[in-house]
């Protein structure tokens, strides 16, 4: 059945695949070292520790608490070792390859989800659905990152697609396919424990709606096998036998070893509007309840609705937690529209036209700004990239200010790991502590860059990275463009570049 449905849209699918591949590669190239710090500090730095580069006392606190699974760090370790064996030793190039690999995985998952969902989409909406599936802009932002959120979302998408293929493909259901789906759901759990709610919803759907008994055991067996292998990965990471899922649950919900703050119940709708652009955000807020109501017997509803409700209700929320839901948004929007039309609910034509054009223009603008034109580096990530690019050709000096013997300034003038992680440090970078800008040896034509500052300094400054060319020492108080720089705070970092002092 699926093969018959695909045939009329084969050219469109191939065109969308080609465009999507190009967009993912551009995004992978432009994206910085990480999108969220956890992506680096709890995966790459853990792998770096096993490679003998990063010391245990430099790792995130989760390592000492033993609450992060070792599966993805082990995968990262294997890939980094493979890159090194292939004589790709530059760490920034290695991290770029991790993003490329994530991009291919994201593209494969999106394509499989689109193809297998086509039987659920009415014929007149299939072209729109295919285009929306491949050109929805936000997955290009997070889909290129080697993060637990991205990889767990991809595992969920592929697993559900395999199960849908079994039910919609007019074929004899295969035990191998159910076992493979179980393996993928197990991996999704090991990448991000919260996806257990999605797996539970899928199992409940198979038991009640799908009426599976024997094949359901194959799915559960696949998941159990992966969990057992994950325990071996945890032993590899921590050097002792530990049941990490329980330790994570205990640390996050029972004893609460760390407090990351609570967010209001309207966090998700607020961020839909803010993060997805208002036209798309409004569509999402309308489409989700409509899709879940009108598609109440769909595997998509049973898998995603409990996950969404859980993350709305738990106190601590972050936008990245919702990535598995975001990956399904084009499909849920189409299903919502079909359900709306099937029930003959009113939709004023002028409003419909405005919505269509607003969503299309919003998506196109977002693609241009955030994927093609914009470099997604921000905060300290631009420091890492800027320093690395200069250190490839000449020594680079970083200066840290300390006017009050701040306890945050390390005695050896080393950059704190939260600003410049151990794995991406360059041997060509040197550091020093100064008490004032006058101590920094600048020359004509040098560019002094404020790369990090105290929180109170950032509160009144526009932007995060600020440049000012110094013609000489007489301009030592002319930082931040035309605005006088009246105060030097401790724990500020400055980078000299493009002048004789940096060479």
Domain boundary residue, one of 373, 406, 436:
373
Tracing tokens 């792998």 back to the chain, one arrives at 47
Residue ending a domain, among 341, 373, 405, is 373
How many structural domains is the chain composed of? 2
Give which of 252, 351, 250, 235 is closest to 311, Cα–Cα: 252
Write out the DSSP string of 104-128.
HHHHHHHHHHHHHHGGGS-GGGHHH
272 and 413 co-located in one domain: no
394 plus 363 within the same structural domain: no
- Overall residue count recorded for the chain in this entry: 503
Are 104 and 139 found together in one domain? yes
Last residue of a domain, one of 373, 396, 411: 373
Of 78, 70, 75, nearest to 241 by C-alpha is 70
Per the structure, the complete domain to which residue 455 belongs is given by 380-502
Whether residues 321 and 423 fall in one domain: no
| H or E element, residue 54 | none
Same domain, 178 and 315: yes
By the 8 A CB rule, do 333 and 289 touch?
Answer: no
**d(C-alpha 341, C-alpha 108), whole Å:** 31
Q: Mind giving me the DSSP string for 408-440?
A: TS-TT-PPPTTTS-GGG--TTEEEEEESSGGGS
- Domain match, 335 and 439 both: no
From residue 4, how far is each of 118, 123, 127, 165, 229 by CA, in Å? 10, 12, 15, 13, 39
Q: Based on the fold, state whether residues 350 and 384 are members of the same structural domain.
A: no
Tell me, yes or no, whether 408 and 306 share the same domain: no
Same domain, 385 and 240: no
**Same domain membership, residue 402 and residue 339:** no
Helix axes 175-191, 71-85, angle to 10 degrees: 90
Q: Are residues 97 and 237 in the same domain?
A: yes
pLDDT tens, residue order, the chain (503 aa): 677 888 889 999 999 999 999 999 999 988 877 888 889 989 999 999 999 998 898 888 899 999 999 999 999 999 999 999 999 998 989 999 999 999 999 999 999 999 999 999 999 999 999 999 999 999 999 999 999 999 999 999 999 999 999 887 556 678 999 999 999 999 999 999 999 999 999 999 999 998 888 899 999 999 999 999 999 999 999 999 999 999 988 887 776 666 667 888 999 999 999 889 888 999 999 999 999 999 999 999 999 999 999 999 988 889 999 999 999 999 999 999 898 888 777 666 666 676 777 788 888 888 887 777 655 444 567 667 777 888 888 888 888 777 666 655 555 456 666 667 888 888 888 888 887 777 777 666 666 666 665 444 444 443 333 334 443 333 333 343 333 344 556 666 777 765 544 33
Structure tokens that stand for 111 in this block: 């394509």
> What tokens does 451 get?
């790369």
| Bridge partner residues of 433 (DSSP) | 400
What is the rounded distance in angstroms from the CA atom of residue 503 to the CA atom of residue 105? 41
pTM (two decimals): 0.86
* Residues 317 and 386 both lie in one domain: no
């Amino acid at each position: 059945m699926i093969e018959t449905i695909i045939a009329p849209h084969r050219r469109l699918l191939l065109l969308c695949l080609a465009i999507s591949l190009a967009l993912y590669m551009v995004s992978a190239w432009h994206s910085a070292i990480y999108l969220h710090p956890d992506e680096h500090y709890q995966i790459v730095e853990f792998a770096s520790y096993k490679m003998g580069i990063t010391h245990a006392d430099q790792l995130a606190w989760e390592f000492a608490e033993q609450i992060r699974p070792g599966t993805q760090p082990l995968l990262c370790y294997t890939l980094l070792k493979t890159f090194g064996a292939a004589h790709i030793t530059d760490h920034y190039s290695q991290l770029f390859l991790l993003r490329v690999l994530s991009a291919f995985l994201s593209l494969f998952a999106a394509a499989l989800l689109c193809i297998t969902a086509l039987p659920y989409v009415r014929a007149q909406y299939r072209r729109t659905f295919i285009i929306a599936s491949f050109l929805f802009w936000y997955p290009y932002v997070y889909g290129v990152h080697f993060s637990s959120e991205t990889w767990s979302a991809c595992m969920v998408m592929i697993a559900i697609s395999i199960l849908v293929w079994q039910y919609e493909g007019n074929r004899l259901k295969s035990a191998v396919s159910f076992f493979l789906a179980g393996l993928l759901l197990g991996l999704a759990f090991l990448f991000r424990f919260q996806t257990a709610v999605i797996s539970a919803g899928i199992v409940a759907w198979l038991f009640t709606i799908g009426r599976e008994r024997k094949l359901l055991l194959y799915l559960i067996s696949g998941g159990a096998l992966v969990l057992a292998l994950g325990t071996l990965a945890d032993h590899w990471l921590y050097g002792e036998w530990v049941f990490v899922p329980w330790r994570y649950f205990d640390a996050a919900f029972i004893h609460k070893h760390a407090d990351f703050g609570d967010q209001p119940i309207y966090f998700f709708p607020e961020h839909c509007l803010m993060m997805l652009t208002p036209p798309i955000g409004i569509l999402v807020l309308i489409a989700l309840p409509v899709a879940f109501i009108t598609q109440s017997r769909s595997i998509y509803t049973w898998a995603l609705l409990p996950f969404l409700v859980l993350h709305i209700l738990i106190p601590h929320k972050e936008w990245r937690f919702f990535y598995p839901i975001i990956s399904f948004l084009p499909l849920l929007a189409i299903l919502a529209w079909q359900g709306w039309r099937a029930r003959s609910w009113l939709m004023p034509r002028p409003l419909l036209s405005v919505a269509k054009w607003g969503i299309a223009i919003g998506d196109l603008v977002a693609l241009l700004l955030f994927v093609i034109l914009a470099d997604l580096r921000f905060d300290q990530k631009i420091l890492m990239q800027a320093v690395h690019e200069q250190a490839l050709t000449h020594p680079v000096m970083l200066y840290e200010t300390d006017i009050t013997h701040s306890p945050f300034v390390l005695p050896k003038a080393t950059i704190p790991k939260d600003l410049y992680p151990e794995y991406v440090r360059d041997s060509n970078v040197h550091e020093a502590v100064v008490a004032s800008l006058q101590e920094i040896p600048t020359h004509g034509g040098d560019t002094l860059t404020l790369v990090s500052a105290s929180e109170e300094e950032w509160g009144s400054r526009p932007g995060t990275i600020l440049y000012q060319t110094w013609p000489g020492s007489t301009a030592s108080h002319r930082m931040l463009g035309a605005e006088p720089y009246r105060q030097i705070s401790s724990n500020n970092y400055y980078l000299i570049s493009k002048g004789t002092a940096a060479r």
